[in-house]
Amino acid sequence: MTSRERFLAAAKREAPDVVPAAPYAGNFGATVAGVPISQYNTDAGRMAAAQIRSWELVGHDVVVAQSDQYYIAEGYGCVIEQPFDATPHLVAPAVPGLDDIENLKVPDPYRDGRMPVYLDAVHALRSHFGNEVAVRGPGTGPFSLASYLAGGTQQFLMDIAQAEADEDIASQEKLLRLMGIATEGLIAFLRAVLEAGSDVAQCGDSLASLDMISPAIYEKYVFPFESRVFESIAPIAHKKGAVTVLHICGDTRRILPLMAQTGADVLEIDTAVPMYEAQELTAGRTALMGNLDPTSVLLQGTPELVQRTAEECLRSTKPLNGGVILGSGCEVAPHTPVENLKALVETARTFRA
Amino acid sequence: MSLLTEISEMLQRGKAAEVKNLVQNAIDEGTDPRVILEEGLLHGMGVIGEKFKNNEVYVPEVLIAARAMNAGSEILKPHLADAGVEASGTVILGTVKGDLHDIGKNLVRMMMEGKGLEVIDLGVDVPPEKFLEAALERNADIIACSALLTTTMTEMKNVIETVAGEGQRDRFRIMVGGAPVTESFCKSVGADLYAPDASSAADAAAALCREKRAG
């Protein structure tokens, strides 16, 4: 099997030849290739070149055209500031608050924000790697995306809490409407990213973490919209042989059964949830990807620690039956030692049940 | 229900306007501002902090509770000053250089204020020298650094080195926290204390200040 075939087989819960290795290494690619992050995420050619360089050094199965969270949001009119060699941050939302959401227009992925950069990078990586290596395009999850649009993240979270505490139905409806507007933008982008040749259509919904919101808020404000994304995107992805991924950071145990019902093919599991527990909680409905600790294992650890942790993870999950991809719990930190990522790949390649 | 209990309960439900009115009523009734602070506002924030630690409430609920506390504090502040009430410790707080995330840091501030500490919030993208400068100027007890990103948490080391480089390491306790930060990371950069969540950070800071001031 090629890397791409191996990843796609495991993601579809079919048996791979060896365990696929897919650390989420976007900005790591930039730093390891010596490209400043502000150039990496604004220049498709440099993004693709950096990912190719990082693959030459590490040899993982999936390259990722990923850097930041705002390329779709900017298409709605959000304003960011771009430091020279760090990920950008939001300086102004698209509209001031919930009362203005009808002014939001769903952007065109081929024209608006920095979406074209990511689409072109995906296309370049697909052209370069053909069937050899899988290409993972990004996709800001609907809850995270909505939080940038109307007033910014903190205000968005307070609006939700206040609407719930006051049982203010009118505000709750506006919030759900805002979620719908964000969902449409994500769906448009994911169609385009699949068209560009991505093997993955993903929702990376970091804000939907239980480090931030309650399971009740997840169920009411997030789950229906993540489900809507996969309902419209999965048929397109599957027709192209691609798969869908849902990533939520942190300890998701209390919502994993729901996450498994969103229709995502793969759930990306963070370090806080042991992989075998994630398998139990999702009852084999989805494939799982994860979950080495990006800080204490990958960034600060040694190749020996990486190997030991990865082996423990794999021994507990029967990965050669399919449905398990060895990865990082969250984004791999820039300046993570290359040797540690190589140890991750090596452990996956040599693991026998 | 007593007025103070009502303040606490309305605060827990994030009802800012109600808290403001109730605090004013309590002042008008002649209640000691220290009692309004302790048994009304801080009590309410304490309950929220505990519930947050136990995953009974989450970030959005804490944010609106804190907003309600601030609304009450605004009314109460001049009366506390008149009564000569002082903070039990001073914390310099900020998100490290290169990191613009402030929700977690704001939560820490709210929880610390809910413990009666004075918090000097330097905001986001704070360079190491500014942490030190503010700590010296305010004669602070604690410097607390926040980072959300794996890309920026390494900046915490620079804060500690800057403080140590000026020969001030023993004078301040240094706390670190934020999503990617761990106990082992805290040790590796030479910080004094790691807290896994905002509520624990506030408890730990209050305890550190008590110890430090006790000698």
pLDDT digits (tens, 9 = 90+) for A299-347: 989 999 999 999 999 999 999 999 999 999 899 988 899 999 999 999 9
Q: Is B185's Cβ below 8 Å from some Cβ in A?
A: yes
Q: What is the mean pLDDT of chain A?
A: 96
> Torsion over CA of B163, B168, B172 and B174, rounded to 10 degrees?
30
Neighbours of A130 (CB within 10 A): 10
Most B CBs within 10 Å, among A38, A70, A85, A157, to test the B interface: A157
pLDDT at A250: 92
Of the listed ranges A9-23, B24-38, B93-107, the one predicted with least confidence: B93-107
Q: Is A13 left (phi over 0), alpha (psi -120 to 50) or beta?
A: left
- Smallest Cβ distance to B150: which of A90, A217, A294? A294
What residues of A are in contact with residue B152 (Cβ under 8 Å)? Answer: 86
pLDDT at A1: 97
What residues of A are in contact with residue B60 (Cβ under 8 Å)? Answer: 157-158, 160-161, 212-213, 217
DSSP per-residue string spanning A132-176 = SSEEE---B-HHHHHHHHBS-HHHHHHHHHHHHHTT-HHHHHHHH
Q: Cα distance from B34 to chain A (closest Cα, Å)?
A: 28
Of the listed ranges A69-78, A138-147, A337-346, B200-209, the one predicted with least confidence: B200-209
Q: Cα distance from B42 to chain A (closest Cα, Å)?
A: 20
Q: Cα distance from B213 to chain A (closest Cα, Å)?
A: 33
Q: Strand, coil or helix: what is A111?
A: coil
CA distance A237 to A234: 5
Cβ contact B180–A250 (<8 Å) = no
Cβ contact B182–A296 (<8 Å) = yes
- β-sheet bridge partners, residue B92: B120, B143
Q: Tokens 């950070």 — which residue?
A: B201
Question: What is the 3-class SS of A227-245, one letter each residue?
Answer: HHHHHHHHHHHHHCCCEEE
The pLDDT of B7-17, averaged and rounded, is: 96
Cβ contact A330–B67 (<8 Å) = no
pLDDT band of residue B85 (cuts 50, 70, 90) is: confident
Q: What CATH number labels A3-350? A: 3.20.20.210
Q: Is B67's Cβ below 8 Å from some Cβ in A?
A: yes
The residue of chain B with its CA nearest to that of A271 is B180
What residues of B are in contact with residue A295 (Cβ under 8 Å)? Answer: 150, 153, 180-182, 185
Neighbours of B61 (CB within 10 A): 26
Q: Strand, coil or helix: what is A101?
A: helix
pLDDT at A6: 98
Q: Cα distance from A157 to chain B (closest Cα, Å)?
A: 5
The pLDDT of A32-47, averaged and rounded, is: 97
- Smallest Cβ distance to B64: which of A158, A210, A213? A158
> Are A189 and A72 contacting, i.e. CB atoms less than 8 angstroms apart?
yes
pLDDT at A86: 85
Q: Strand, coil or helix: what is A322?
A: coil
Q: Strand, coil or helix: what is B96?
A: strand
pLDDT at B215: 67
Q: Cα distance from B103 to chain A (closest Cα, Å)?
A: 6
Most B CBs within 10 Å, among A37, A255, A295, to test the B interface: A295
pLDDT at B115: 87
Count of residues making up chain B: 215
The residue of chain A with its CA nearest to that of B55 is A214
Q: ∠B37-A164-B60 over CA atoms, to 5°?
A: 60
A119 vs A69, A86, A112, A180, A352, CA distance in Å? 14, 21, 12, 23, 37
Cβ contact B59–A211 (<8 Å) = yes
What residues of A are in contact with residue B67 (Cβ under 8 Å)? Answer: 158
Q: Cα distance from A213 to chain B (closest Cα, Å)?
A: 5
The pLDDT of A196-217, averaged and rounded, is: 96
A312 vs A59, A304, B144, B191, CA distance in Å? 22, 12, 35, 30
Q: What CATH number labels B90-214? A: 3.40.50.280
Q: Strand, coil or helix: what is A283?
A: coil
CA distance B70 to B64: 10
Domain boundaries, chain B: 3-82, 90-214
The pLDDT of A283-300, averaged and rounded, is: 94
pLDDT band of residue B101 (cuts 50, 70, 90) is: confident
How does pLDDT run across B137-178, given as a tens digit for each residue? Answer: 999 999 999 998 877 888 999 999 999 999 999 999 999 999
Cβ contact B60–A217 (<8 Å) = yes
Q: Is B171's Cβ below 8 Å from some Cβ in A?
A: no
Cβ contact A158–B67 (<8 Å) = yes
Q: Is the pLDDT of residue B114 over 90?
A: no
pLDDT band of residue B104 (cuts 50, 70, 90) is: confident
Q: What is the mean pLDDT of chain B?
A: 91
How does pLDDT run across A228-263, given as a tens digit for each residue? Answer: 999 999 999 999 999 999 999 999 999 999 999 999
Pairing of strands B142-146, B118-121: unpaired
Q: Is B174's Cβ below 8 Å from some Cβ in A?
A: no
- Smallest Cβ distance to B150: which of A90, A162, A333? A333
* Consecutive H or E run containing A92: strand A89-92
Q: What CATH number labels B3-82? A: 1.10.1240.10
Q: Cα distance from B69 to chain A (closest Cα, Å)?
A: 14
Query: Does A53 or B100 have the greater pLDDT score?
Result: A53
